[in-house]
Amino acid sequence: MTTSVLSQPALVLNRSWVAIATTSVRHALGLVFNGAAKAVRPETYEMYSFESWADLAVHTDEPYVHTVSLRIKVPEVVVLTRYNGVPKRAVNFSRRNLYRRDRYTCQYCGARPGQQELSIDHIVPRSRGGTSTWQNCVLACMPCNRRKGSRLLTEVGLRLLSSPAKPNWKPTLEIPIGRVRQSWERFVSDRYWDVTLEP
């Protein structure tokens, strides 16, 4: 049990309590042990040093790390004691961000049929060496996607409404789906999760 618990995610807050990263429970415990962070009890916002955290009672239904002499509660949130910055991040190339960039609009005809009727189209098809990048992927409605198929735009007479580019948004934190803990809801909202697309 200990090995899998140690690899679970923990949320890292900077000194101003802004969520800036996720890390493993193993690393979070190391930060708390070395005094670089304090463990946080999300329900009460209380902060604990390693010694005071290790003294907390562990209930039978909650995860813990077992050492030779201790059962230590798993820290799901830690706050750094010295670092107050926010790391600079680029916008992830992801399905969600592609939909946001293209405003849920077909980039060939301008239709807005709804998310279920839109797909991601490779301008230069993958079968012809096209890659999944900001500059080569756009949203397309089903009729335009079928019309284009695996051909080039010039071959089917389609034109892009605008030139696709990487957005210049400045995200603070993106958390993969399935990695968000319920205890993090007080510190981040669902707008931060993201799904990275495969190249």
pLDDT confidence of 174, banded at 50, 70, 90? low
Q: What is the pTM of this model?
A: 0.57
Q: Given a cut of 90, is residue 1 above it in pLDDT? A: no
Q: State CA 65 to chain mean position distance.
A: 26
Give the Å distances, CA to CA, from 128 to 122, 123, 125.
10, 10, 5
Burial 31-49 (b: 16+ CB within 10 A, else e): bbeeeebbbbbbeeeebbe
Give the architecture (CATH level 2) of 95-156: Orthogonal Bundle (1.10)
Collapsed DSSP state (helix, strand, coil) of residue 48: strand
pLDDT at residue 178, as a whole number: 61
How far is the C-alpha of 46 from the C-alpha of 10, rounded, in Å?
16
Q: What is the pLDDT of residues 82-116, one digit of tens each?
A: 998 877 777 889 898 999 999 999 999 999 999 99
Residue ranges of the chain that CATH labels 1.10.30.50: 95-156
